[in-house]
Chain A
Amino acid sequence: MADDHEKTPSGVSRREFLKISGIAATVPLVVPQVVEAAGEKVPVHGPGKVPMSFTINGKKYGAQLEPRVTLLDALRDSFDLTGTKRVCDRAECGACTVLLNNKPVYACTVLAIEAQRQPITTIESLSTGGKLHPIQTAFVEHDGQQCGFCTPGFVIACKAFLDKYPHPTAEQIRYHLNGNLCRCGTYKGIREVVAQMSGTKGA
């Protein structure tokens, strides 16, 4: 299939590089600056790069990042988890939806540094060993996707919604599935996905 990514002249992919270099283990220890506030010592990180560690899809990841790096950019640029998309970068469109502490959030508007120590779930975790999650299968069957760029965010948002409301009312669908925008116009298929998964007629 044409989806298979061609080997590029640059050789190894970012993911392979991370595996080879074991970057998490090689991060040098940077001692944060400590300031005193209200009689207690409080660490202050940055503005330069600081070591950070994350639990993403149950796996540990580490990188040296500046505090200004968003969770979205860390996922995509540092860990090659590119299923989470950057579209508006302003918490408006939903293409970067991930679960943080099992709740859907916009990764573009979470600092990576504050997402440490909280479980992060991305689209990559939903289909393991090539087997799609039933919601993903429903997206394929109902053609809830065209160009596919909004799709991973929509899949995560729908999953979180259906986990919270397994049998949603039309009103719940109206209120809770508006955080994701599609440009190709796939909402009809997505509504059918929700209807099928919840056994309802949809909104």
Chain B
Amino acid sequence: MAEYKWPAPAERTLIGKRFSRVDGPAKASGRAKYSYDYNPKGLLFGKVLRCPYAHARVTSIDTSAAEKMPGVKAVQVVQKAGTEILWQGDDVVAVAAVDEPTAEDAIRAIQVKYDVLPHNVSDAEPPPGAGEGPPGPMSEDDLDDALSNQVPEAQVISRLQKDGVTFQVTDDMVKELKGYGVPDTVINALKAAPYHPEAANQQRPPYQKMAAQTLGDPDKGFASAEVTSEGVYGASVITHCCLETHGSAAEWPSSDHLFVHCSTQGVSGLPGQYAQALNIPAGNVRAHQDNIGGGFGSKFSPDRWGIATAQLSKSAGGKPVKYMLERDSELMTAGARPSAFARVKVGAKRDGTVVAWQSNSWGTGGPAGAGSPPIPYVFEIPNQRKQHTAVRTNQGPARAWRAPNHPQAAVITMCALDDLAYKLNMDPLEFFTKNLEIAGPRAPIYKEEFPIAADLMGWKQKWHPRGDKAEGPVKRGVGLSMHTWGGRGHAGDCMMTIHPDGSVDIKLGTQDLGTGTRTAILIVAGDSLGLPMNAFSLNIGDTMYPPDGGSGGSTTIGGVSSSTRRASLMALDQLFAKVAPALGAQPGDLEAKDGTVRVKGDHSKSLSWKQACAKLGAMPLSVTGKNPGPGNLINSGVGGVQMADVSVDTETGIVKVNKMVAVQDCGLIINVKLAESQCYGALIMGISYALYEEKILDPVTGRMLNPNMEFYRLAGLRDIPELVVHMMTDPMNDNRGVIGLGEPPVVSPGAAISNAVANAIGVRVPFIPLTPDRVLAALEQQQKAGA
């Protein structure tokens, strides 16, 4: 039996080296196909009529004119009359037509009437006492939220009994809930719940105060602190802005079989979601995706529009219907990163030891409010008191955004600590290093990373006490931050088939988000079988292949590298058993290296790979490697340190990043080149959200004011400075196994850049993005305080 471990460093032929992505030529030449590009004969084009109001009830829908239009093949009401709409751009009616202009005309011909309801799109600081009163009767959305957020059963039942509901409980609803697996106890409580129709249209206070959390003895902690610092910090709502918008093409090869091309981060997870909504067996749903144009956490579900696309296709006799979101719909509805803000007080001993933390935080994730970010971040401060208030808004629903909640937590924590370092008259590098004892399980790695980062940044030469004293309006400064992430590989299967002619194919139901998943699989397979990467036929992105987890949480590299390694070693075991007699050796004495199967230590006893595979006889051998599985191939937990060097024009408030440094560990690195690419990309995305990005909602109309790429600003090539990435590739990291990398490096840029700005101009700009108005406001306050 094979021993399931990674090859020793000296034995590796491909792992840990630098390779360009194998799908690079297809992408650079435009040949790579995305769901958006699916273009079969007879394709119908979908369009969706979207609600223009942030909060409204649909009162009537008339689709008759659209149905009569030539070229219109199907009309599907997505949310029927009576439905309460909670954000602008939510889907109401979908149509399919022979071409896109006709579909657009059809949408314009549909008459929908709304009762416009009061909205709230503000995530400003809640007033004192907000969210402390009784929550009132539950709406359907409240119930959905409670059920989908796994609120404890007893809590839901007690709320239903005590507060009642704002809607009538119908048999259909009960049936649907049962279908979702909602327990009978909850359903019985729902049926018996007092009905308060009058509360349905009442604007409820948008605040929900969470239970306070304490750790240690915060009062004593602050009493023992010799220096305290107080401030307010936070990050506004931003969007994912995937370049390929959400959407899919759906068709029905037969009346109960659905085939979808969907832009998704989780191919294998789609059938179950479609099946539930469309009432067909999951086994009858096939999903396919060759390439995806960005996801960043927002593409795991078929979404309302995807289900509607499948329904349109069904109504159109199974013909393929494609619907991809327009850019404005994408930014309005297809995902936002929740905001998070906090008033923080933090205390330390004179020597810099942090002893106490207190925070009152708030933020919005749209209709469901938002949970507290993990603050204080990284540092396990011994005495803490925390209170969080969720703000429900009509901003549109939140979705996981690359390292969910961590960038916000980093801004709140690392900026508060940086301000404390200032109060202590300490260089933040010294201050953060001093407190690494409470920096959790990754403390040793931070200890190694800080000096490397400082060296690459030239921190000692660049750092100065707050407030650049240089002449002129442009001030320069440096700042730092640190972060952590899990990144253990997800569950998944890899099927490897070795054919008697020597060809090898590999099938996984995974997906390559542009992180280099294909390349990583081929590196592992090639290294394991002693073959070059181009010796394999690799197939991913289809539910016909063995299931693999969704690409979220930086779990893909661990999942696919370990399942592929296991499959490779299992396949070799079986192959060696067939080949051993021909080489006059025991299977355990064989190795697959340099395109041969040979006896270890006696290379005269050797067969070419092709000759060896011919020993299989007529039948190919096929194995499935799994993760999790035997052997310690993967791990969890990384730490990274980042530093930023910025210039701030104090007359205009414009911030320019001059240089960024990222030092990052991620265990054993399969492909150093693409690992570095993840870090470079994260720094660039970080600069973009630190300086430019903000989902701007109009207080009067409740609409998104910048649902475009003109005023929803993404950093361009000219905005990107010198970037330096250092990957920790020493044996200590190597021995830990493979760990995911997609998310951790995107956590710190906001905090590091904010700290650099504070260092440059001598005052904290509380919130990111660090826009000119915010920078100038902070400078003005500083001037007033000084005067």
- What is the interface of chain A, defined by CB distance below 8 A to chain B? 1-3, 5-6, 8-14, 17, 66, 68-69, 73, 76-77, 80, 82-90, 92-93, 95, 122-124, 126-127, 132, 136-137, 139-141, 143-152, 155, 174, 177-178, 180-191, 203
Contacts and interface: CB of A to CB of B under 8 A. Distances in A.
B561 to A, nearest CB: 17
B514 A145 contact: yes
A98 B323 CA distance: 24
5 contacts: A1-B23, A2-B518, A8-B40, A150-B243, A187-B715
A82 to B, nearest CB: 4
A137 B251 CA distance: 37
Given A183-B714, A188-B723, A146 B709 contact: no
A144 B680 CA distance: 11
A92 B518 CA distance: 31
A188 B684 contact: yes
A131 B251 CA distance: 35
B28 A151 contact: yes
Contacts of B251: 8-10
A145 B326 CA distance: 23
Given A92-B708, A140-B21, A146 B290 contact: no
Interface string B352-387: 000000000000000000000000000000000000
Contact of B22 (A1, A5, A77, A178): A1
A119 B496 CA distance: 48
Contacts, number: 226
Given A82-B30, A188-B720, A148 B291 contact: yes
A82 B718 contact: no
Contact of A76 (B39, B288, B513): B39
B681 A93 contact: no
The interface size bin for chain B is 35 or more
Q: Choose among A145, A183, A203 the residue with the greatest number of B CB atoms under 10 Å from its CB.
A: A183
Contacts of A66: 101
A82 B674 CA distance: 26
A131 to B, nearest CB: 10
Interface stretch (B537-545, B627-635, B644-652): B537-545
A75 to B, nearest CB: 11
B152 interface: no
B681 A186 contact: yes
A184 B514 contact: yes
Given A82-B30, A147-B293, A14 B41 contact: yes
Contact of B29 (A89, A95, A132): A132
B327 A149 contact: no
A189 B242 CA distance: 20
Nearest to A83: B30
Contact of A187 (B21, B41, B673, B720): B720
B434 interface: no
The 10 A-B residue pairs with the shortest CB-CB distance, nearest first, are: A83-B30, A185-B684, A149-B293, A148-B27, A185-B681, A147-B514, A146-B514, A123-B30, A140-B24, A10-B40
Interface in B650-667: none
Interface in B252-305: 253, 259, 288, 290-294, 296
Contacts of B708: 88, 90, 92
B710 A90 contact: yes
B34 interface: yes
Given A5-B290, A191-B717, A76 B24 contact: no
B709 A181 contact: yes
Given A3-B290, A68-B101, A145 B28 contact: yes
Contacts of A68: 101
A11 B40 CA distance: 8
B192 interface: no
A147 B682 contact: no
B677 interface: yes
Nearest to B685: A185
A3 B32 contact: yes
A187 B41 CA distance: 37
A87 B327 contact: yes
Given A122-B30, A149-B294, A150-B243, 4 more contacts: A136-B25, A139-B28, A143-B20, A187-B716
B33 interface: yes
B241 interface: yes
Contact of B714 (A95, A132, A181, A189): A181
A85 B244 CA distance: 8
B320 A10 contact: yes
A143 B33 contact: no
B294 A184 contact: yes
Nearest to A9: B253
Given A13-B41, A124-B30, A183-B243, A178 B717 contact: yes
B29 A148 contact: no
Contacts of A2: 23, 290, 518, 538-541
B460 interface: no
Contacts of B24: 139-140, 143, 145
Q: Choose among B21, B245, B717 the residue with the greatest number of A CB atoms under 10 Å from its CB.
A: B717
Nearest to A12: B41
A150 B681 CA distance: 14
B244 A149 contact: yes
B402 to A, nearest CB: 10
B576 interface: no
Contacts of B293: 85, 87, 147-149
B784 interface: no
B34 A181 contact: no
B226 interface: no
Contacts of B685: 183-185
B160 to A, nearest CB: 43
Contacts of A182: 243, 684, 714
B230 interface: no
B259 A8 contact: yes
Given A93-B709, A149-B34, A13 B39 contact: yes
Interface in B662-719: 673-674, 677, 680-685, 688, 708-710, 714-718
